[in-house]
Amino acid sequence: MHKSIGQINERIRDGNARVVTAEEMPAIVAELGEEGALREVDVVTTGTFGAMCSSGAFFNFGHADPPIRMERIWLNDVEAYGGLAAVDTYLGATQKSDTRDDSYGGAHVIEDFIAGKSVELRAISRGTDCYPRRTITTELLLENLNQATMCNPRNGYQRYNAASNSTDRSLHTYMGLLLPNCGNVTYSGAGLLNPISNDPKFRLIGSGVPAFIGGARGMIVGEGTQHSPAAGFGTLMVTGDMKDMSPDFVRGATMNGYGVTLYVGLGIPLPVLDIETVRSCAVRDEDITVDIIDYGIPARDRPSLRKVTYAELKSGFVEVNGEEVRASSLSSFRKAREVAEGLKKWIGNGSLEMTLPTRCINPSRAAKPMKETVHGPRVLDIMDRRVISISQEEEISTAAGKLLKGETNHLPVIDAHGKLVGIVTTYDISKAVVNPAKGSHVRDIMRKKVITTTPDEPVDIAVQKLEKFNISALPVVDADYRVIAMLTAIDLGKLFGGRWLK
């Protein structure tokens, strides 16, 4: 059996269409079978509500008198893009305020407009013959704008990897606060309600298809940036008129220590045309797997701690390294349901009909990493290979002698096999002199917890360690934990000698 989009729309117009949410679908298929579900259900609605950083809006302000060609533009002190025609701009959600830092940004401006609040527009220009004006400041409401078109380059991730942190310090990430020693797991996405998870082959989701976006009747533009369905991470570019949106479904937010982001409610209705649609819409949380990524590793390809399903994540507890760890979401499942229910209502009252894609989205693309033509400096490029170290069995006075020579403030301490076991600084020696009770050997006073780096670590990461731990030197160790060099603040000075800075 097969249903046409025309038949489904006719039923929608007659008020007879059977519309269910993707959450209800698995039970319906279990009860009626695939054929039965195909006969019974006309449309399945999906929904998600979460942080979607790659979002923003185009605005047209209309012309002032005398007119201005705006070159730099601020909305409530958040800078918007000035490279469009005279009174057009694009405001990105993650752009932060010049005056209020992370607590306010583009996302909040968008929310304020939608909530009916007044927003201050400020712009400057160098003035031209046709646009003589050089400055403008004015208060605007959403209704004063000609267009306020939300256009989000990357929304609606098919699924998203969960996050944890194996280091011994808290991390502030876009996946929220990650406690030390894998103390929690955070995740994002609505699992079985996620739009693309219900149409992973992009048979129904494509350009021109209607969507719920921020409470408005919006539309899918096409594939989103970084679209990578080959790996199960498809994305969508979506658009909608901000004037029809509601602050219930568009919220500015701040991930503490990371920055500003926009929470968007997004849903797509899927017309049930054939058995394959039934099958893909029967997806359950148990069927959707993601990795728990260790954000403690500061590289692009962070390791996975394990695989996990949305069913486990949603249970609130996940086992990591043999321990039960609390898991919680950053997206809202309650709001995701509201999105899916909202779509259901629109279709139920005949105000939203189904459309097939006018252009299909590639279902097998894979996103590439960045091509880097100029590699950033690595530790080995600037480290100091003259290592002065000391054995842990030596007397403190020997260490003091080495430090006194003045070539270094840090002495890495090694054991009989040449492995790094600690570090002593001038400060530790002074302390030992004041308080001799601790012992007379280096091993008695050394700090055993040493922060280290490796030769191929990017300098930016090493600098982050220096800053984070408020230290001024890092021993550079090889695979056997032998000290092969030191990296100090002085070495960083080499970066500014022009070799790396162009």
Partner 1 sequence: MKLIVTFSRKAGKKPIIASVVRDTGVLINVERAIIDSSEGEALIDIPDDQCRLVKEKLAEMGASVRILEDVITLDESECVDCGACISICPQEVFSFDENWKLTLDAGRCVLCGRCIDACPHQALSQKIDT
Active site members = 130
Quote the CA–CA distance of 398 and 386 in Å, as a whole number: 18
Stretch that binds partner 1, among 321-329, 389-397, 460-468, 478-486 (CB under 8 A): 321-329
Count of CA atoms in the C-beta half-sphere (13 A) of 183: 11
Whose structure tokens read 């991390």? 171
The answer to whether 327 and 333 are in contact (CB under 8 A) is no
Closer to partner 1 by CB, 256 or 358: give it: 256
Q: Which of 352, 340, 355, 344 is nearest to 208 (CA)?
A: 355
Cα 298 to the chain's mean position, in Å? Answer: 14
Closer to partner 1 by CB, 251 or 284: give it: 251
Closer to partner 1 by CB, 214 or 363: give it: 214
Task: Return the residue of 261, 280, 425, 453 that touches partner 1, per CB under 8 A.
Answer: 261
Helix axes 426-434, 396-404, angle to 10 degrees: 140
Cα 148 to the chain's mean position, in Å? Answer: 25
Question: Minimum distance from CB of 108 to partner 1 (Å)?
Answer: 10
Question: Minimum distance from CB of 340 to partner 1 (Å)?
Answer: 13
Stretch that binds partner 1, among 198-206, 247-255, 281-289, 470-478 (CB under 8 A): 247-255
Per CB under 8 A, does 185 bind partner 1?
yes
Quote the CA–CA distance of 189 and 461 in Å, as a whole number: 30
Per CB under 8 A, does 327 bind partner 1?
yes
Structure tokens at 395: 């007397």
Stretch that binds partner 1, among 126-134, 232-240, 293-301, 324-332 (CB under 8 A): 324-332
Stretch that binds partner 1, among 25-33, 251-259, 358-366, 381-389 (CB under 8 A): 251-259
Residue 152 CB coordination number (10 Å): 28
By residue count, the chain amounts to 502
Per CB under 8 A, does 184 bind partner 1?
yes
Closer to partner 1 by CB, 152 or 261: give it: 261
Per CB under 8 A, does 329 bind partner 1?
yes
Structure tokens at 169: 């310090």
CA angle 330, 465, 302 (to 5 degrees): 45
Task: Return the residue of 128, 256, 440, 464 that touches partner 1, per CB under 8 A.
Answer: 256
Per CB under 8 A, does 96 bind partner 1?
no
Quote the CA–CA distance of 101 and 104 in Å, as a whole number: 6
Q: Which of residues 426-465 bind partner 1 (CB under 8 A)?
A: none
Closer to partner 1 by CB, 185 or 420: give it: 185
Per CB under 8 A, does 392 bind partner 1?
no
Task: Return the residue of 5, 32, 151, 177 that touches partner 1, per CB under 8 A.
Answer: 177
The answer to whether 137 and 122 are in contact (CB under 8 A) is yes
Task: Return the residue of 52, 182, 216, 255 that touches partner 1, per CB under 8 A.
Answer: 255
Per CB under 8 A, does 251 bind partner 1?
yes
Per CB under 8 A, does 334 bind partner 1?
yes
Structure tokens at 275: 């058995």
Closer to partner 1 by CB, 164 or 488: give it: 164
Closer to partner 1 by CB, 69 or 251: give it: 251
Quote the CA–CA distance of 145 and 174 in Å, as a whole number: 32
Stretch that binds partner 1, among 175-183, 275-283, 297-305, 403-411 (CB under 8 A): 175-183
Per CB under 8 A, does 186 bind partner 1?
yes
Peptide bond into 66 cis (omega under 30): yes
Per CB under 8 A, does 342 bind partner 1?
no
The answer to whether 159 and 189 are in contact (CB under 8 A) is yes
Whose structure tokens read 């609605």? 45
Per CB under 8 A, does 152 bind partner 1?
no
Stretch that binds partner 1, among 17-25, 45-53, 410-418, 483-491 (CB under 8 A): 45-53
Cα 316 to the chain's mean position, in Å? Answer: 21
Q: Which of 287, 251, 275 is nearest to 29 (CA)?
A: 275
Q: Which of 390, 424, 396, 392 is nearest to 410 (CA)?
A: 424
Q: Which residues bind partner 1 (CB under 8 A)?
A: 49-51, 103, 176-177, 179, 184-186, 251, 253-256, 261, 263, 316, 325-335, 337
